[in-house]
Structure 1
Amino acid sequence: MTDPARSTGPGTPAGPGTPAGPVAAWHRLAGDSVLLDGFHALKHALRFGAEVRLALTADRAGALALADELAADVRDTLAALLTEVPHATYAALVPRPHPTAVAALAVRPSRTGNLARLAHAPRTAPVVVLDNPRNLGNAGAVIRLAAGFGATGVVTTGTLDPWHPTVVRGGAGLHFATAVERLTVRELPPGPVFALDPEGEDIRSLKLPDDALLAFGSERSGLSAELRARADHLVALPMRPQVSSYNLATSVAMTLYHWSATGGAPGTS
């Protein structure tokens, strides 16, 4: 039986009147897939082993030129995956068209596998915990940071879905480079909890262990009472008086940098 995603042939442009196969496949797969929004999200997902079900573009030549320039390691894979459709067809399939006119659908990593990775001991890099985050873009930026520093994973508590398309877009596809899950405070993996709080000990006096859970409160209300009660250490970032707070992603970046600068090794998780 012919796969409708391949009705125009793998990696071949669809003619102006023949987007029905890829579009039908997209609608069939979208419900339980991760949306990879843009060239860079697809590039990163492929680099870290994502199973990509379908990849569409309104500019196949442009996407492959980007691959030649920025992602030669996955260029051949992209060439085999990308199917060209008219720009209007592409734009109708995504919430907000990306400048690179590329979108793909990938299989979400196994929750069981992610939980095993988060709980594995000994850990060689911390887990970032976002306690009741509110801003989807901030959550995506944190996942991108965590992947760059080689953190074991990012866990959110509360109602925000860390696999929401806006979060994945903000993370540039790097959800596939680290373990990303939503848990309750009671379900957090083992390890000492270092929670960021203005009343805590100056982070510059501490060495953060590799198996730490680095917890950050919400942008509006800080740490929840439940997470504060679970914390083993309260930690404060240096801040000029009368400055109320840092952006969430900035706080995570400063903390992960401190971990890496005092003995942690990015990329070892």
Structure 2
Amino acid sequence: MTDAVPDALTAWRRLASAPASAVLLDGFHALKHALRFGAEVPVAVTGDRAAALALADELAPDVRERLAALLTEVPHATYASLVPRPHPTAVAALAVRPSRAANLRALSRTPRTAPVVVLDQPRNLGNAGAVIRLAAGFGATGVVTTGTLDPWHPTVVRGGAGLHFATAVERLDAGELPPGPVFALDPEGEDLRGVKLPDDAVLAFGSERSGLSAAVRARADHLLSLPMRPQVSSYNLATSVAMTLYHWSATGGGPHSS
């Protein structure tokens, strides 16, 4: 065991002792994305440094040097003891969670060039992670959750593949939604295909089971519906968000618009 190993483990345990400010990056791709989008990553470990750097050579040469400087190889059993479920890439890191104040500034800043996605009382951690990954891909300003689900829960971060650091992610009350016209998805709403969504839209999605809460529905300036075959109950939450963000992008929004 080299001197670097005990130093890395000491740093890991120190950061892990403050879970409110430490974010587990589970796997190579989560670490890759976090580094690309400016995360502060004090410690990263791997059970196979050569394999991790080979992945970087193939998939992420832009962060290869930073990974080489950051990754400490530890025995595989040690790596496995640090994470809830070992990842196939045998890579894990701890990042510093962005401050709530910084995220709130990003969410409230106007004018905006991309919508904010609101997940109203979501229940499924994996779905929330998938939505954050989608939002990052479309260049959304941020993702807000209402209710009890923590959008920075390790399972959500795993589902988001480290892309929490590419957008502003916070939990807020229904009365604290960011500024902008609220477009809420509801079966009784106007067909999305006939509406042009503005860049400063706040796009609100209810849970698959119960739909929008009364508080968020009351905040809505517009109700929108997704095209759906009769007798189909609902779409998956992440699918609904993807369809709506794609519509926004295809009608003039998005990071590649002129």
CA root-mean-square deviation:
1.1
Match of 1:112 among 101, 115, 121: 101
Identify the residue that residue 78 of structure 2 maps to in structure 1: 89
CA contact (8 A) 1:150 1:267 kept: no
One-letter identity of the residue aligned with 2:31: L
Cα deviation, 1:51-74, whole Å, max 9, x if unaligned, reads: 001000001000000000000000
2:29 matches 1:8? no
Structure 2's unaligned 5+ residue stretches are: none
Give every structure 1 segment of 4 or more consecutive aligned residues whose post-TM-superposition deviation is greater than 3 Å: none
Structure 1's unaligned 5+ residue stretches are: 1-6, 10-18
Quote the offset at 1:267 in angstroms: 6.0
Quote the offset at 1:172 in angstroms: 0.2
Identify the residue that residue 170 of structure 2 maps to in structure 1: 181
CA contact (8 A) 2:208 2:236 kept: yes
Q: Which residues in structure 2 correspond to 1:69-148 (within 5 Å)?
A: 69-148=58-137
One-letter identity of the residue aligned with 1:29: L
CA contact (8 A) 2:132 2:143 kept: yes
Which sits farther off after the overlay, 29-38 or 80-89?
A: 29-38
Quote the offset at 1:26 in angstroms: 1.1
Quote the offset at 1:219 in angstroms: 2.2
Quote the offset at 1:202 in angstroms: 0.1
Aligned length: 253
Match of 2:12 among 26, 30, 44: 26
TM-score (norm 2): 0.96
Which sits farther off after the overlay, 76-85 or 112-121?
A: 112-121
Cα distance in 1 for partners of 2:251, 2:33 equals 28
Identify the residue that residue 212 of structure 2 maps to in structure 1: 223
Cα distance in 1 for partners of 2:84, 2:52 equals 20
Residue identity (%):
83
Match of 1:37 among 26, 32, 37: 26
Match of 1:260 among 242, 249, 253: 249
Cα distance in 1 for partners of 2:113, 2:92 equals 33
TM-score (norm 1): 0.92
2:198 matches 1:209? yes
Cα distance in 1 for partners of 2:142, 2:51 equals 33
Cα deviation, 1:78-129, whole Å, max 9, x if unaligned, reads: 0000000001000011010000000000111111111111111100000000
Q: Secondary structure at the match of 1:175?
A: helix
Structure 2 vs 1, CA of residues 267 and 86 (structure 1 numbering), >3 Å: closer, same or farther?
Answer: farther
CA contact (8 A) 1:148 1:266 kept: no
